[in-house]
Chain A
Amino acid sequence: MNASALLWLSVISTGFVSTLATWMFLNKCARRLNINHAKGTLWVQTAAVPTNLPLQELMQYASLVIGFLFALKTVWDGGWIFALCIVLAGLLLMEPVRAWLHQRHLQDITGVIDLALVCMECDSSNKTVLQTLDEASATLGHTEVRRIVSEALVSFYNGATEGEALQRLLTRNSNSVWALLIWTLFEQQQRGGSTQLRSKLTKLMRHRLELHRRALPALEVTRRSLGLSLILCAAMTAYLTISPASTLYVSSLQGQVIGSLALIMLAWIACIWSAHIQTLQRITQ
């Protein structure tokens, strides 16, 4: 294969990769663009206002920025195909970075489920809902649950009605277990303790507890795997672009293709893990 054919092959392949990257980038931009808001803003005098950009929001673009930096270095060395693949990998990794950042603190609802099980064992027919929650949380001794119930009690002692205090509790803790528990306690209070209702909620809570306990370790392992794969992606890109071995990967077409394949494979696995995290997150909700 002569040099001219190689050059054209390189141009066509980079064109394809770049088209793909541009397509994805524009797609991302289009999804983020709020046309109605933009139209409205254009008519307001204070169109350019300082906005608060928290660090976490900016961190989502870290992979893209790192990708551009490494790509610049590779372009400087003459590896166009590899540079474009690095940018593409950076684009692909934006979603995994976002998923990883949003999943740093696992939401453990085991405490609330335990509270519901304890509440169902208590005799709640002659007590208010808040009283039942207070006694059950004291018996359970779970720090987080105790804090949430104490906040509702403080709100009640400060003059709010029981309904208002519980409404605030549900607003601050939006998981469905709290809503189900409070609803059942109200029903129990009205009907003077229904054995059927008690056994039904206990059964539902046990099912949820079982599922949650199984999903949580898988979620934790996937989250750590994703974090490690992101670090490995950055390390591998650094190895392929700035280490002494980079001459092999940048100087020849085959080297560039092998490096690109390895990098894209890592990025692809990170993307799969990010989808798995979202699945597990929804299962544990």
Chain B
Amino acid sequence: MNPIPSWLWTGGVFGAATITAFVVLQAAVRWWYGHRSQSAPNGKREPTGDNDSMSRRVMYTLLAGIGLVAVCLLVKDTASTLLSVFGIFAVVPYVLLQGRQIEAQRWNTRTSVAHSLDEFQILTVNRQDNSVLDAYPWLEQKLKRNTIFQTLEARFVDLIGQGSAVRGNRAALERIARELNSEDLVQFIRRTEINSNTNDEREIVSRAAEDIAERIHLDAEITIARITGQTMWFWITIVAALLAAVLIPLRVS
């Protein structure tokens, strides 16, 4: 009988290790979620944000482990084995990527807020009534479709229905704005509550909308400039990686 090839043996052990690692990881995560939901008050499920942070922690641990092993393999035959500890910095690229993805999601909300504030400004100019929007309900639907204010309103009505908030309660509105992860909305709500010399509510809302929209506009410009700047650095990194990949075999040979 022919002996089993070494690569097949390695593959078999690898497969077993993979399945074991995955099952253990899944079991640990499931146990953790179960533990957290049992210890939570009222036995309610944890909010999505906590689950996300839990997944992130699992990813951090995995990446730190992978980084340690990778650097250990690189320096194993040298005297600098202690350099392996730098492998934990493999987490940094992942954190950066997560930050960019969260930023992309946040801009979805910010753009929605900015558009809604533009509409507020037009509304406040029409001092008499909203007869046009009443006459053309489809236009109002188009303007308000999928906007953050619709979500805010729906959640507020929901809270009033539950008895957790009363109409016109600023704190409840701010709480919902924070749930929606919109600092702009929080600022807007606060600005509309200012007791200024002007008693005209429309004027106050118009100014608040203008200021917050302007702030979003400026932040957008800063983000665009930052993205343009980063693109240059990324290209330098790509060229360095390509050159290294090409030059290493030449140098070895």
Contact = CB atoms under 8 A, between A and B. Distances in A.
Contacts of B122: 180, 183-184, 187, 197, 200-201, 204
Interface stretch (B13-21, B148-156, B158-166, B188-196): B13-21
A272 B97 contact: yes
Contacts of A1: 76-77
Contacts of A122: none
A218 B227 contact: yes
Contacts of A9: 69, 72-73, 76
Nearest to B248: A258
A257 B241 CA distance: 13
Interface in B105-147: 107-108, 110-111, 115, 118-119, 121-122, 125-126, 128, 131-133, 135-136, 138-139, 142-143
B228 A218 contact: yes
A157 interface: no
Interface stretch (A107-115, A133-141, A143-151, A262-270): A262-270
Nearest to B100: A275
B104 interface: yes
B73 A275 contact: no
The 8 closest A-B pairs by CB, nearest first: A275-B100, A15-B17, A245-B249, A278-B104, A13-B69, A282-B107, A18-B18, A179-B142
Given A11-B10, A19-B21, 4 more contacts: A20-B63, A23-B62, A183-B133, A257-B74
Interface of A: 1, 6-7, 9-20, 22-23, 75, 78, 80, 163, 166-167, 170, 174, 176, 179-180, 182-184, 186-187, 190-191, 194, 196-197, 200-201, 204, 207, 211, 214-215, 218, 221-222, 225, 229, 232, 236, 239-240, 245, 248-249, 253-254, 256-262, 265-266, 268-269, 271-273, 275-276, 278-280, 282-283, 285
